[in-house]
Amino acid sequence: MYSFNYVFTIIISSGFVVWLSKVFPLVILKKYKLNEKAVSFLSFVPITIMSALWFESLFVQHLGQLPGLDIENLVASVPTILSAILTRSLLVIVVVGIISLALIRVIGI
Amino acid sequence: MNDQLTRKRAVIETMPTVLGYVGIGITVGIVGRASGLTVLEVLLMSMITYGGSVQFVIISMIIRHSELLPIILATFLVNARMILISMSVAPYLEQESVLKNILLGTLLTDETYVLSMNKINYTKKRLNFEWLNISNLIAYFTWAIASFTGALIGDYVGTPKKFGLDFALVAMFIGLLYLQIISEREIKMMLQLLVVLFTLLAIYIGLIFIPANILILLATILGCSFGVIMKNVFF
């Protein structure tokens, strides 16, 4: 257990940092327009963020060495991608993903 | 998805993502309890810090009795991608008041952001307060309730791993990525695939010497730069 004050101070400070990174750009950019280069740069954010978050989950980090493969997540990604292509439904994709990983753990790949 | 930016459409279009938050929210609750936080502390962290992956980082630092300053720095670095996200959505919310922008920014997440970038492909690049606010609120309360539930059941279920719930968020990333690629019309499909491949390479090489949590931000910046350069040179 930790003192409530210690944890609460951390919650409030980190909350403020998170809040500022989300709100500050929105407020500032109401005043200033982004130039064309910046807009073009930012148009790639959705696909790169999703890719980065996905790919990071496929590897096991060993700092100083080549990363290992997270076989479970890698294998579970296959039916998940297939369900995305076949159904284009987020709900189906998430459910298929959860079931795939659960099955993989039961079978023990 | 269609071209209507109503509250009702926001509910319909956000509901499918709820499962993703439930899975990882329950996990953050269980991990929080297992790490010695109280149910109240878990709930407050989910409702005030509201940072998703950053909460796992904070919890892991609390376990090591870390000082406040390193925790704040780690929070900033892990969460800095939100600066890019917020900048990217800003042009579509220009017409809304400052207060509404602050509200939308406060509850913005990776997922509601990508969902809204997906949405604008159907609305002739329009976005509004009503739609995004409802989407954000659904995400926020799902997250709060899920982590609260996770904290409550944390004492009984032990490791959350066996249920496959930890893959819910990854599945959501895959789904949102695919839906974004097929609905995006401004960037050619080939270029998008190249950017995705480049990001894979950046993550793989980056993992050798950069902590994973910070690498996400770096890979995003590199991936976007690569996209801009390729677009100017070849597309």
Rounded CA separation B159/B163 (Å): 9
CB contacts under 8 A, A 3-32 vs B, are 4, 6-15, 17-19, 21-27, 29-30
What pLDDT does B113 receive? 93
For residue A109, give how far its alpha carbon lies from the nearest alpha carbon of chain B (Å): 13
The closest CB to that of B174, out of A48, A61, A84, belongs to A84
B217 within domain boundaries: yes
Do B144 and B232 share a domain, yes or no?
no
Do B150 and B196 share a domain, yes or no?
no
Reported as a single tens digit per residue, the pLDDT across B43-90 is 999 999 998 878 988 998 898 888 899 899 888 888 888 999 999 999
Do B180 and B192 share a domain, yes or no?
no
Its domain, for residue B197, covers 187-235
Rounded CA separation B123/B133 (Å): 17
Within 10 Å of residue A78's Cβ, how many Cβ atoms? 10
Do B167 and B193 share a domain, yes or no?
no
Return the CA Rg of chain A. Answer: 20
Residue B130 in this model has a pLDDT that exceeds 90? yes
B198 within domain boundaries: yes
What pLDDT does B159 receive? 58
What pLDDT does B40 receive? 96
ipTM: 0.87
Comparison of pLDDT for B70 and A22, the residue scoring more: A22
Percent of chain B with pLDDT over 70: 97
Structurally, chain B folds into a number of domains equal to 2
Among B143, B111, B131, which residue's Cα sits nearest to residue B46?
A: B143
Chain A residues in contact with B219 (beta carbon < 8 A): 48, 52, 55-56
The closest CB to that of A53, out of B50, B196, B216, belongs to B216
**Structural domain spans, chain A:** 1-32, 33-107
Residue B111 in this model has a pLDDT that exceeds 70? yes
B206 within domain boundaries: yes
Residue B28 in this model has a pLDDT that exceeds 90? no
Do B146 and B222 share a domain, yes or no?
no
Rounded CA separation B7/A100 (Å): 33
Residue B73, class by beta-carbon neighbours within 10 Å (0-12 exposed, 13-18 middle, 19+ buried)?
A: exposed
Between the CA of residue A16 and those of A2, A9, B15, B209, what are the distances in Å?
Answer: 21, 11, 28, 29
Do B161 and B178 share a domain, yes or no?
yes
Do B226 and B110 share a domain, yes or no?
no
Rounded CA separation B25/B133 (Å): 20
- Residues with Cβ within 8 Å of residue A72, at least 6 apart in sequence: A101, A104, A105, A109
Q: Enter the tokens of residue A68.
A: 């290992």
Do B47 and B102 share a domain, yes or no?
yes
Do B81 and B135 share a domain, yes or no?
yes
Reported as a single tens digit per residue, the pLDDT across B136-155 is 999 999 999 999 999 998 77
Q: Does A75 reach chain B within 8 Å, measured CB to CB?
A: no
End-to-end Cα separation, chain A, in angstroms: 37
Q: By the 8 A CB rule, do B211 and B195 touch?
A: no
Between the CA of residue B174 and those of A93, A104, B13, B126, B158, what are the distances in Å?
Answer: 8, 18, 17, 24, 28
What pLDDT does A109 receive? 67
Residue B88, class by beta-carbon neighbours within 10 Å (0-12 exposed, 13-18 middle, 19+ buried)?
A: buried
Contact across the interface for B36 and A8, Cβ inside 8 Å: no
| Residue A60: its H or E element | strand A59-60
Residue A37 in this model has a pLDDT that exceeds 90? no
Do B196 and B81 share a domain, yes or no?
no
B2 within domain boundaries: no
Do B56 and B164 share a domain, yes or no?
yes
Reported as a single tens digit per residue, the pLDDT across A41-52 is 888 988 998 899
Chain A residues in contact with B48 (beta carbon < 8 A): 11-12, 15
Rounded CA separation A12/B132 (Å): 25
Do B130 and B26 share a domain, yes or no?
yes
